Chains A and B, each alone.
Chain A
Amino acid sequence: MATWVVAALTLKEAARKKILWMALLAGLAFLTLFGVAEHYQTLSLRAVPLRPQILNTQFIVALYALNFLVLAMTVLTSVDTLSGEIASGTIHAVASKPIRRRQLLMGKWLGFVGMLTIFLALIVSGLVAVTYWMSGYQAHHVLRGSTLMWLEGVLLLTLTFLFGTSFSTLTNGVMALGLHGLAFLGGWIEQFGRLSDNEQVVNVGVLASIVMPSEALWRRAAFEIQSPVVNALGFSPFGAGATPSLVMVGYAVVYTVAALGLALRLFGKRDL
């Protein structure tokens, strides 16, 4: 019960502070821009043989930008929720109520996961609808791909919660985004390694994904949605020249659960 009170309060905060609305407005502006571009692009693609592949790539490009928007929103909105409330003492009024620490943390986490889910569902649906409306193109495996994007968001969110139990807001933000940057770089290194057929370089990239599997989830999502023909081309800035395996996806799930477990443990023990 107390968990849901906190979760509802977290969602209400996002709505009341206009965070969710502003993020959706940014998403809407993006979709409008994309829709207009897609409209003119479609007109010039009528007789091009690789039309579906080009439209697919455009869809992935848009998804790539949206994925970035989702991750930025996730980190920026959640980075202060624990450390900020601990530093200001706001948390004393809640943590002294008949609520367990784990309920408090889970409530906040669920609230942010809810916000992430609503945001992602709305903008991905919007993107699918705009693409279909403008070009008649129907992307495949969008649900599978967006679930992986959702997992990537949840992973990053969980890390900001984990760091938030022990570090200040600023340090937390630097650590979460820094780790994602590492994963991003690792993804590129892995793709270059595959391209040059250099096993050591590939291993460096994989190691980065083991340290932080967020980018691997995006690359798997891109692989799922990407047309097989485009995939066969191999190297792409938005996709999956080196496709992360399902084992890596499973690892990312375990990684997220472990980070959440550790966050609960640290938050349960720390002085408020």
Chain B
Amino acid sequence: MDGLTLEVRRGEVFGFLGPNGAGKSTSIKMLLGLVGASSGQAAVLGRPVGDVETRRKIGFLPEHFRFYDWLTAAELLDVHGRLYGIPRQRRRERVPALLALVGLEAHHRKRLRDFSKGMLQRIGLAQALLNDPQLIFLDEPTSGLDPIGRRLVRDIIKSQRERGATLFLNSHLLSEVEITCDRVAFLKQGQVLEIRDLRAVPDQMTTVFLRARKLATETVSGLARWASSIRADGDRITFNVPNTEVLPELLRYLLGRGVDVYEVTPQRISLEERFLKVIGEDGGL
């Protein structure tokens, strides 16, 4: 890592993106006190990094989660619950509830050695939620998961966010990140190159795709009041607007001219395009 400066706000889902070897997992390990930093400062939930009591409020899914394969799924959660200091009565409620949440209730007596990679990932996710954490670190949470498993991770992230938890997410799957994260940081060779707010309305020049019928030629020409680079192809039109704030007025204009509008889509630059632009095609290798 080299001069990593980062702030994650409480209650947000923060994505940490970067190519292999960028230092994503190392950053999480540093924040958990598993790896020491040679210099610099960091605070987690307002306490210095590595503070044992703070870890009571943290959940962590390590990359490629694995644990003693001679334990059953229910035993694994019980052991982790004991490490969190959760009382027996509470563990008895939490363990079955979490097994059900990650879809493993039917396998609660199965030993981990008989688990598939995806099942291990699911039980890893469950152990990260045992203590109703305020802050959850997920290192490649969808690794090894099928589409149903990925959907589950997405739903869990959403429900944890609604509960008020902060989530810090490492991922390669940019489409997943795009759906789930509020903000992302692009990391390359241990340095943050850009932090991007995915929820903010783009305030820059945006290309808009429009599908409509009953479009007269003069109506299309009239769009020039708000738009530029207008290209019409039958009932499909694309044009650029200086920002998306002009769209409601533009739409009112079209509807007022009796145009039937079926679709208006601002073409946001995808996270993948942004990633490649920021990180570079070589991935920093």
Contacts and interface: CB of A to CB of B under 8 A. Distances in A.
Interface of A: 1-2, 5, 9, 13, 16-17, 88-90, 92-100, 269, 271-272
Contact of B62 (A5, A17, A89): A89
B32 A93 contact: no
B124 interface: yes
B85 interface: yes
A2 B62 CA distance: 20
Interface of B: 29, 32-36, 52-53, 55-56, 58, 60, 62-68, 70-71, 79-80, 82-85, 124, 127
B62 to A, nearest CB: 4
27 contacts: A2-B85, A5-B82, A5-B83, A13-B70, A17-B70, A88-B66, A89-B62, A89-B63, A90-B66, A92-B34, A92-B62, A93-B60, A93-B62, A96-B55, A96-B62, A97-B55, A98-B53, A98-B55, A98-B56, A98-B84, A98-B85, A99-B55, A100-B52, A271-B29, A271-B34, A272-B29, A272-B35
A74 to B, nearest CB: 20
B70 A16 contact: yes
Contacts of A13: 68, 70
A208 B65 CA distance: 44
Nearest to B75: A12
B68 A97 contact: no
A98 B29 CA distance: 14
A269 B34 CA distance: 9
Contact of B36 (A5, A95, A269): A269
A96 B34 contact: yes
A74 B195 CA distance: 52
A92 B53 contact: no
B31 to A, nearest CB: 10
Nearest to A100: B52
A97 B85 CA distance: 10
A64 to B, nearest CB: 34
Nearest to B62: A92
Given A98-B84, A99-B83, A272-B29, A93 B67 contact: yes
A16 B68 CA distance: 11
A16 B75 CA distance: 12
B238 to A, nearest CB: 48
Contact of B80 (A16, A92, A93, A269): A93
Contacts of B33: 96
A100 B29 CA distance: 15
Contacts of A17: 70
Contact of B60 (A9, A96, A99): A96
Among A2, A92, A94, find the residue whose CB has the most chain B CB atoms closer than 10 A: A92
Contacts of B53: 98
A98 B83 contact: yes
Contacts of A9: 68, 79
Given A98-B56, A99-B52, A93 B124 contact: yes
A269 B50 CA distance: 12
A100 B62 CA distance: 18
B67 A5 contact: no
B197 to A, nearest CB: 29
Contact of B35 (A1, A88, A89, A271): A271
